[in-house]
Amino acid sequence: MARAFHQTRLDTLPGHAAGQSEFLDYWRLLKPNVMQLVVFTGGVGLFIAPGSLHPLLAFVAILCIAVGAGASAAINNAYDTDIDRVMVRTRLRPTASGRIAPADALATGLTLAIGSVTVMGLALNWLAGGLLALTIAFYVVVYTLWLKRRTPQNIVIGGAAGAFPPMIGWVAVTGRIELMPVLLFLLIFFWTPPHFWALALYRQKDYANVGVPMLPVVAGAATTRRHILGYSLLLAAISLLPSLLGTAGWLYLATAALLSAGFVLGAWRLVRTASDRQAMRLFKFSIVYLFGLFLALVLDHVAQPWLSA
């Protein structure tokens, strides 16, 4: 069924509305789903930072973060074409299915990377531009080229790339790295392993087929589930830090406590039931968790004048 669908799409694409489908392929190359989360967390960093920014500059900062993330995704797609072709989850990607040549994807990624860093540096400040460059380089060089195919710790260390956007947003406004953006970085850094391991448990065979040493493939499902529980406990502790250290209020604290309790409970259930369905449920919850925490930061920030009055 999936193969038939895949075949049909490939057959119909070149002739039918070629220009439009090519545009959509280039859009998909930038992994818009990942971009959404990056834009959201980067936007929150920008919103809660002390100080103000002209709306145009705020828009440009978010745009640069989004384009930088898209650039990383395009370069990642170009390099991983061989394994993306084999994996069920990724075989419809424009590079994997042959609709965009890896060289074109690489050129697109490099152009967008240089463009986004330059505009961020010129329009906002060069610390924000430098952090954006570091994020792209980290994702491409450290994660994609170095760690992904070598170690089960790939997403633990590589996850740092996804943790930078709120810091970039903050620095775009203030021009400085302070305690709060470091806490936001840690939050996403410790959220990434249980998030991806829950998905990897569900897609274990896919990763094993292409020889990517994800933790479930190398250490087994039981060890992975215990790691998820361990990281969820660490994450719960870190999620409370912004309020405990005085950089966020009780509204955030209450939300973080509630959501973290849900995360730990989900991880505990995963260890107890050892079911793939629970792994998928935890993966989906982890997305709601991160959106929820960052939304709570925004609401807490907006409500602060009334709450402290």
Place of tokens 């959220």: 191
Query: Please, is 282 exposed, middle or buried when counting C-beta atoms within 10 Å of its C-beta (0-12, 13-18, 19+)?
Result: buried
Q: CB of residue 68 vs other proteins: minimum separation in angstroms?
A: 15
Closest to other proteins by CB, 23 vs 250, is 23
Residues 40-79 touching other proteins, rule: CB under 8 A, are 54, 56-57, 60
Encoded one letter per residue, x for contact with other proteins by CB under 8 A and - for no contact, window 104-133 reads -----------x---x--xx----------
Chain centre to alpha carbon of residue 42: 11
The HSE-up count of residue 161 (CA atoms within 13 Å, CB side) is 26
Q: CB of residue 38 vs other proteins: minimum separation in angstroms?
A: 20
The HSE-up count of residue 164 (CA atoms within 13 Å, CB side) is 24
Closest to other proteins by CB, 3 vs 54, is 54
Q: CB of residue 119 vs other proteins: minimum separation in angstroms?
A: 7
Residues 228-247 touching other proteins, rule: CB under 8 A, are none
Q: CB of residue 123 vs other proteins: minimum separation in angstroms?
A: 4
Residues 3-32 touching other proteins, rule: CB under 8 A, are 18-19, 22-23
Q: How far is CA 236 from CA 50, 92, 287, 289, 301, in A?
A: 26, 36, 15, 11, 21
Run of H or E including 156: helix 154-158
Q: Is residue 1 near other proteins by the rule CB under 8 A?
A: no
**Cβ neighbours around 111 below 10 Å, total:** 12
Closest to other proteins by CB, 52 vs 308, is 52
Size of the site for other proteins (CB under 8 A): 12
In which region does residue 152 sit, left (phi positive, over 0), alpha (psi from -120 to 50) or beta (all else)?
alpha
Residues that bind other proteins (CB under 8 A): 18-19, 22-23, 54, 56-57, 60, 115, 119, 122-123
